[in-house]
């Protein structure tokens, strides 16, 4: 009886067809009103970086250095990006396609957040295909425009002064050794000789395999360790989980500080959908109080993780036969982001509209399969899924 019960639970938890998950097989009827928290145009208009009147997706945005491009409307530019992207107004879609050829997975730099008052911006992308000595003039033009977008900067005392030379902080979430290793495969990182206005910093955040091993060690402590043991805290620290959390938070903090000083920031790791999502999301929590509200946090998660293609299905192993799924690509990236959020909420509870219980509820439902929000890998997958259903 126990074996049959386990078999039934596994069949429901890991169905061969994702449509058989609870979120879809027990979903509300189509005519029932649904609430979509994140809307691309509404969110970027709220930030104040786009004009309030937009003539079509790729239309005139006079007064703004940026435009909302529909170059990815049919996912022809990048499968893992959303249909609408904020790009420099001074660059044509044809040039944007050239930039895509120079970025891993064709994940071009695109704007995550901007300050409509100061003009400071936060961007995200994947690593460049620079190899040992490669470069691309279109990519250099793109980043030059970003660097030149802030005409003034703020001192620590809040005094605004005119910028004499363009600046850009490139936040590479990886360790330098990891980035160097990728050069052998034709990828790597930006050569500052080709981007003379840029400052490149590495933040030593581990990859998905490092995070998976770390949380396995942490989970092992709570299944076979006596928490009353005086060495328990040391055992937790030895798993390196909290150390990884600190690295993620530091990268987010430094990114946010740079933006507040009116120095634009470009964040990337290798693919730009794991560590990049964590750092960009947390930096915006520090920068924008809207994201510290319940509605705002929902918008942030949908934008940075879902819309920009964090592969939740692959990382969480949703709807796969546990005997056949690719365990090497399973990693607790979203859970780690929520742990970083927990640290912030725990230290500054009065800065948030929600509490730690809210974060725990989200953490539960990342894996529960009750809601479709945390399923599938990207916007393109979700569009196709809705179509076939």
C-beta pairs of 178-186 under 8 Å, 24+ apart in sequence: 178/207, 178/270, 179/127, 182/127, 182/270, 183/130, 183/131, 183/132, 186/129, 186/131, 186/134
Query: Quick one: three-class SS letters along 362-383?
Result: HHHHHHHCCCHHHCCCCHHHHH
Measure the CA–CA gap between 264 and 80, rounded to whole angstroms: 24
C-alpha 225/C-alpha 366 separation (Å) is 26
> 150 an active-site residue?
no
Query: Backbone phi, then psi, for 169, in 5-degree steps?
Result: -100, 120
Looking at residue 170, the DSSP 8-state letter turns out to be E
Closest CA to 363 of 332, 329, 385, 389: 332
What the block records as the tokens of 157 is 């005392």
Q: What is the dihedral of CA 141, 146, 149, 150, to 10 degrees?
A: -140
The residues that bridge with 223 in the sheet, in sequence order, are none
CB 349 within 8 A of CB 355: yes
Cα-Cα-Cα-Cα torsion 43, 47, 51, 57, nearest 10 degrees, comes to -30
CA distance linking residue 150 with residue 166, whole number of Å: 8
Rounded to an integer, what distance in angstroms lies between the CA atom of residue 356 and that of residue 240?
22
Backbone φ and ψ for 170, nearest 5 degrees, come out as: -100, 115
Q: 113, 256 in Cβ contact below 8 A?
A: no
Report helix, strand or coil for 280: helix
Is residue 71 within 8 A of residue 108, CB to CB? The reply is no
Exactly one of 269, 280, 340, 378 is catalytic; which is it? 269
- Enumerate the active-site residues: 269
């Amino acid at each position: 009886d126990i074996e049959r019960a386990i078999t039934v639970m596994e069949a429901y938890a890991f169905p061969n067809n994702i449509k058989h998950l609870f979120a879809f097989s027990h979903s509300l009827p189509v005519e029932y009103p649904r609430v979509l928290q994140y809307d691309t145009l509404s969110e970027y208009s709220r930030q104040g970086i786009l004009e309030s009147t937009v003539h079509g997706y790729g239309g005139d945005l006079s007064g703004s250095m940026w435009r909302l491009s529909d170059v990815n409307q049919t996912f022809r530019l990048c499968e893992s990006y959303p249909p609408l992207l904020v790009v420099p107004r001074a660059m044509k879609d044809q040039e944007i396609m050239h930039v895509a050829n120079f970025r891993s997975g064709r994940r071009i730099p695109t704007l995550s957040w901007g300050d409509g008052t100061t003009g400071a911006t936060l961007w995200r992308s994947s690593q460049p295909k620079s190899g040992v000595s490669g470069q691309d003039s279109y990519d250099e033009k793109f980043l030059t425009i970003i660097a030149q977008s802030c005409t003034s900067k703020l001192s620590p005392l809040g005094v605004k002064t005119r910028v004499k030379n363009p600046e850009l902080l490139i936040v590479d979430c990886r360790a330098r050794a990891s980035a160097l290793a990728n050069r052998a495969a034709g990828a790597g990182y930006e050569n500052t000789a080709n981007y003379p206005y840029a400052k490149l910093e590495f933040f030593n955040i581990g990859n998905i395999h490092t995070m998976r091993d770390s949380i396995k060690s942490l989970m092992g402590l709570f299944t076979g360790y006596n928490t009353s043991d005086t060495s328990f805290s040391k055992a937790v620290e030895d798993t390196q989980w909290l150390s990884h959390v600190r690295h993620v938070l530091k990268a987010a903090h430094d990114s946010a500080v740079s933006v507040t000083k009116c120095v634009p920031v470009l964040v990337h790791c290798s693919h730009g959908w794991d560590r990049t999502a964590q750092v960009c999301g947390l930096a915006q929590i520090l920068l924008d109080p809207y994201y510290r509200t319940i509605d705002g946090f929902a918008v942030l998660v949908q934008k940075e993780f879902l819309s920009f293609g964090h592969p939740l299905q692959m990382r969480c192993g949703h709807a796969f036969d546990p005997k056949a799924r690719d365990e090497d690509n399973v990693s607790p990236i979203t859970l780690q982001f929520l742990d970083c959020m927990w640290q912030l909420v725990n230290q500054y509870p009065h800065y948030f509209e929600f509490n730690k219980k809210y974060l725990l509820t989200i953490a539960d439902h990342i894996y529960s399969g009750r809601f479709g929000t945390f399923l599938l890998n990207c916007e393109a997958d979700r569009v196709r899924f809705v179509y076939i259903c």
